[in-house]
């Protein structure tokens, strides 16, 4: 397999304004990424689109061909990849394979989602398609209720008080303040966190990522194309996707997200890095309980000790494991099928030294992880600065 590099990135601001339709969001991100990479459309081999909800919420499938057309790439190979909220990461994985496997020298991956043009109840129902409908959905479970089940069981098992989770969203909101593409520009403190309404017990408003719209894209290229471009170069050194049963009831221990462990260790092994080498972790903080369980399943903390990281000194931009450095799903926002690409764009900006106010000093190794459902699909990538 060949080395794969990120040659350029593009993103639209994450927003609640639904006036821009999905095809234009996607095209804006793709065009921005191509411009950033200084790559002509004629040199692009394929476009891979990550999306979860367009068919359900916008009556629009076949986003591959559609966004190719609106991006000035009409005619090229294009298809959509779906893995619920991990659609963006899964599309990145397919794009990675196309370059690593020698199919193409340059491809574009774009994650796109538009969610705010319909009623909130429609979105809640649509998001429940990421769960096991026959086992969970038909019983009225939503993504909120499933995460509430995990959070309640976690708090019970380890005797955790609600305020312990607060530092995760507080840090995310802090990082989003200086991210012009973030949805939320509002700092958060413990008092506000604790005073926020319970959405689904024990989940508070600030434990949840917001419903929003956005698109992000990356240009992936082979080494000889990357070599024509200026340093620093960012390489995708590890790429892995693992799965688990969708329904919590089909897993031996719902608090053990096995697909996180499998995909993290596989991506890190491929990249030749260990936990101590990771300079920042763009993780899937759709819920604070998901952040907590991720840190454990990914091997950064023992079971029950994930909240040891809930500390500004550890996860801030100057901490030993900066998380969600541009605000994460929580505060940059979580346009579901796009999030995996936003995460990779942000990790790229960090490693390329282009993160400006959000820069993690000396960032050389990033772990990026995108999750579908309650851990049923987990895509992990390790990005390295390759000077």
Q: How far apart are CA 275 and CA 271, in angstroms?
A: 11
Of 86-94, 150-158, 196-204, 346-354, the window that binds a second copy (rule: CB under 8 A) is: 86-94
Question: Cis omega (within 30 of 0) on the bond before 24?
Answer: no
286 binds a second copy (CB under 8 A): no
Least separation in angstroms between residue 224's CB and a second copy is 17
Contact 340, 371 (CB under 8 A): no
**Shortest reach from residue 273's CB to a second copy, in Å:** 20
Q: Which of 150, 188, 217, 259 binds a second copy (CB under 8 A)?
A: 259
Minimal distance, residue 58 CB to a second copy, in Å: 7
CA distances from 268 to 33, 205, 368, 372, 378 (A): 26, 33, 11, 20, 14
Can residue 377 be called a binding residue for a second copy (CB under 8 A)? yes
Selected catalytic residue, list 85, 110, 212, 341: 85
User: In terms of CB distance, is 24 or 158 closer to a second copy?
Assistant: 24
Quote the least distance from Cβ 32 to a second copy, whole Å: 21
Tokens, residue 318:
């100057």
Rounded least distance, CB 340 to a second copy, Å: 12
- CA angle (129 as vertex; 248, 249 as ends), nearest 5: 10
Please provide the DSSP assignment of 158-210 as one string. HT--GGGGTHHHHHHHHHHTT-TT-S------HHHHHHSPEEETTEEGGGBPP
377-386 and 365-372 strand pairing:
antiparallel
Structure tokens at 55: 């068919």
Please provide residue 364's backbone torsions phi and psi, each rounded to the nearest 5 degrees. Answer: -125, -20
In this chain, which of 110, 171, 246, 355 binds a second copy, going by CB under 8 A? 246
**Distance (Å, rounded) from C-alpha 357 to C-alpha 196?**
28
Active-site residue flag, 110: no
Interface with a second copy includes 242 (CB under 8 A)? yes
CB of 343 closer than 8 Å to CB of 282: yes
The yes or no reply on residue 249 touching a second copy (CB under 8 A) is no
Q: For the CB of residue 351, give the shortest distance to a second copy in the complex, in Å.
A: 24
Residue 132 interacting with a second copy (CB under 8 A): yes
The only residue of 32, 98, 248, 280 in contact with a second copy, by rule CB under 8 A: 98
258 touches a second copy by CB under 8 A: yes
225 binds a second copy (CB under 8 A): no
Q: Please select the residue that binds a second copy; options are 100, 118, 155, 177, rule is CB under 8 A.
A: 100
Task: Give the pairing type, strands 106-113 and 46-50.
Answer: parallel
Least distance in Å: CB of 100 to a second copy? Answer: 6
Of 62, 163, 189, 191, which lies in the binding site for a second copy, with binding defined by CB under 8 A? 62
- Comparing CA positions, the residue from 45, 44, 48 lying closest to residue 338 is 48
Decide: is 373 part of the binding site for a second copy (CB under 8 A): yes
What SS3 class is residue 315? Answer: helix
Residue 78 found at the interface with a second copy (CB under 8 A): yes
* Residue 60 sits in the site that holds a second copy (CB under 8 A): yes
Neighbours of 16 (CB within 10 A): 13
| Residue with Cβ nearer a second copy (100 or 162) | 100
19 interacts with a second copy by CB under 8 A: no
| 334 is a catalytic site residue | yes
**Six token digits for residue 298:** 């990914």
Two tokens at 251? 């897993």
Nearer to a second copy by Cβ, of 131 and 188: the residue is: 131
For helices 22-37 and 63-70, the axis angle rounded to 10 degrees is 60
| By CB under 8 A, residue 187 contacts a second copy | no
The residues, ordered by sequence, that sit 6+ positions from 130 with a Cβ below 8 Å of its Cβ are 52, 84, 85, 143, 246, 372, 373, 376
- Catalytic-labelled residue, pool 173, 334, 341, 381: 334
Is 45 a binding residue for a second copy by CB under 8 A? The answer is no
Catalytic residues: 85, 334
Contact residues toward a second copy (CB under 8 A) are 1, 21, 23, 46, 52-53, 55-56, 58-66, 68-69, 74-84, 90, 93-94, 97-98, 100-103, 125-126, 128-130, 132-134, 137, 240-246, 250, 258-259, 262, 372-373, 376-377
């Amino acid at each position: 397999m060949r080395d794969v590099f990120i040659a350029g990135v593009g993103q639209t601001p994450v927003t609640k304004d639904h006036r821009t339709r999905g095809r234009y969001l996607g095209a804006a991100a793709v065009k921005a990424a191509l411009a950033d990479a200084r790559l002509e459309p004629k040199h692009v081999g394929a476009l891979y689109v990550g999306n979860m909800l367009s068919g359900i919420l916008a009556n629009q499938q076949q986003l591959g061909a559609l966004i190719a057309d609106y991006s000035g790439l009409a005619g090229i190979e294009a298809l959509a990849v779906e893995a619920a909220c991990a659609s963006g990461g899964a599309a990145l994985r397919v794009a990675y394979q196309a370059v690593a496997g020698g199919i193409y020298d340059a491809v574009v991956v774009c994650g796109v989602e538009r969610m705010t043009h319909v009623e909130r109840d429609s979105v809640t129902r649509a998001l429940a398609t990421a769960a096991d409908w026959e086992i969970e959905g038909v019983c009225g479970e939503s993504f909120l209720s499933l995460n509430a089940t995990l959070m309640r069981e976690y708090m019970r098992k380890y005797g955790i008080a609600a305020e312990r989770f607060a530092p995760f969203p507080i840090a995310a909101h802090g990082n989003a303040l200086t991210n012009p593409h973030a949805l939320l520009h509002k700092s958060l403190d413990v008092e506000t966190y604790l005073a926020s309404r319970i959405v689904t017990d024990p989940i508070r408003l600030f434990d949840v990522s917001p419903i929003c719209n956005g698109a992000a894209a990356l240009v992936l290229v082979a080494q000889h194309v990357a070599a024509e471009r200026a340093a620093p170069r960012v390489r995708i050194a590890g790429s892995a996707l693992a799965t688990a049963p969708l329904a919590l009831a089909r897993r031996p221990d719902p608090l053990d997200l096995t697909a996180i462990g499998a995909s993290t260790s596989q991506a890190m092994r491929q990249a030749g890095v260990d936990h101590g080498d990771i300079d920042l972790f763009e993780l899937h903080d759709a819920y604070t309980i998901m952040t907590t369980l991720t840190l454990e399943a990914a091997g950064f903390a023992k079971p029950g000790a994930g909240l040891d990281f809930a500390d500004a000194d550890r996860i801030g931009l100057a901490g030993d494991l900066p998380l969600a450095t541009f605000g994460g799903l929580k505060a940059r926002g979580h346009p579901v099928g796009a999030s995996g690409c936003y995460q990779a764009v942000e990790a790229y900006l960090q490693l390329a030294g282009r993160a400006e106010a959000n820069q993690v000093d000396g960032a050389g190794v990033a772990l990026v992880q995108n999750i579908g459902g309650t851990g049923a699909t987990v895509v992990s990538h390790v990005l390295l600065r390759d000077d």
